Structure 1
Amino acid sequence: MTALKLSAITEERPVKLAVELPAAVHRDLVAYGEALARQTGEAQPIEPARLVAPMLARFMATDRGFKKGRRPYGG
């Protein structure tokens, strides 16, 4: 299996956010959590809710347009 884009999930102080996801996205998150648990040696699958924040952070960190838009002007 190829390496996943996420690595082990770190614990941070959470901010509660309620979102609705399509069922297909939830199924994919469950499958991703299972794959990530196998890759990182976790005994239990990673819960989908714990995947959302690191996935969003990774997405934003690698989005060139987002990074370019956040640069301060003049530099």
Structure 2
Amino acid sequence: MTKLKLGPIADEKPVKITAALHRDLVAYAEILARESGQTAADPVRLIVPMVERFIATDRRFAKRERREKLPPNHSRTGI
């Protein structure tokens, strides 16, 4: 079984952004704004690009995605 970067999720309750997470997002937005020369974005707007980047850099997820998209009798060697 492939081990992803993210472990099991404890429950299916609605998700709330904690005060600590909000503080981190605000700090991240401020640093990003300074580095990019732009004004700080609403910290909540960082969540989607962060999740997209997280998924894009999870090598085990990418490997599993490639494997599962192959046709059933496809040879991995191309022969």
| Aligned-pair Cα RMSD in Å | 1.7
2:48 is aligned to 53
Distance in 2 (CA, whole Å) between partners of 1:57 and 1:51 is: 10
- Corresponding letter in the other structure for 1:21: I
5+ residue gaps, structure 2, are 1-13
- The answer to whether residue 36 in structure 2 is matched with residue 36 in structure 1 is no
Q: Given residue 45 of structure 1, which amino acid in structure 2 is its aligned partner?
A: A
Offset at residue 19 of structure 1 (A):
4.4
Higher relative contact order (CA 8 A, sep 6+): 2
Task: Give the Cα separation in 2 of the matches to 1:70 and 1:27.
Answer: 34
Tell me what 1:62 maps to: 57
Unmatched segments (≥5 aa) in structure 1: 1-17
1:21 aligns with 2:49: no
Q: 1:21-59 deviations in whole A, cap 9, x for unaligned?
A: 1211110000000000000001x2111121111100100
CA distance in 1, matches of 2:36, 2:47: 17
Three-state SS of the structure 1 residue aligned to 2:40 is coil
| Moved segments of 4+, more than 3 Å | none
Q: Distance in 1 between matches of 2:45 and 2:15?
A: 13
